[in-house]
């Protein structure tokens, strides 16, 4: 995907959707943790709750899932690049390869389209 991560206005048009139940199992407290990320400017906005989504097996059928939505910020991407020792390439974030940190469990279910979030 081509995305200018240095422009917050371009980032504001993107939302990242995550499976709320998976995040809860990881110990994420939505109101506290997402509120802190927002207050620090690391995400531009967020929401969480039950939403209707299309099922992948039958797109005409709807299901309800607990969804977390976050909008990225340039500052959040810069910080992520810093902790991965890739600050010099932060502006090329979408082309960079970020390896999984061995001691940090990352979510398995995420998408830019909430209807494609779950298998």
For the chain, the residue count is: 119
The list of the chain residues with pLDDT below 70 reads 1, 56-60, 94-96, 98, 100-102, 119
Q: Which long-range contacts (CB under 8 A, 24 or more apart) does 44-47 make?
A: 44/8, 44/11, 44/12, 44/71, 44/72, 44/73, 45/70, 45/71, 46/70, 46/71
pLDDT in tens, 67-100: 999 998 988 888 888 887 778 777 777 666 767 6
pTM, two decimals, is: 0.80
Domain regions of the chain by residue span: 8-74
């Amino acid at each position: 995907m081509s995305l200018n991560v240095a422009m917050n206005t371009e980032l504001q048009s993107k939302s990242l959707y995550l499976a709320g139940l998976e995040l809860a199992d990881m110990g994420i407290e939505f109101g506290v943790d997402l509120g802190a990320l927002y207050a620090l400017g690391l995400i531009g906005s967020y929401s969480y709750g039950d939403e209707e989504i299309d099922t992948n097996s039958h797109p005409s059928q709807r299901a309800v899932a607990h969804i977390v939505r976050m909008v990225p910020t340039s500052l959040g991407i810069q910080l992520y690049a810093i902790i991965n020792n890739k600050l010099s390439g932060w502006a090329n974030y979408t082309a960079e390869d970020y390896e999984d940190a061995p001691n940090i469990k990352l979510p398995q279910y995420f998408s830019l389209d909430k209807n494609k979030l779950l298998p």
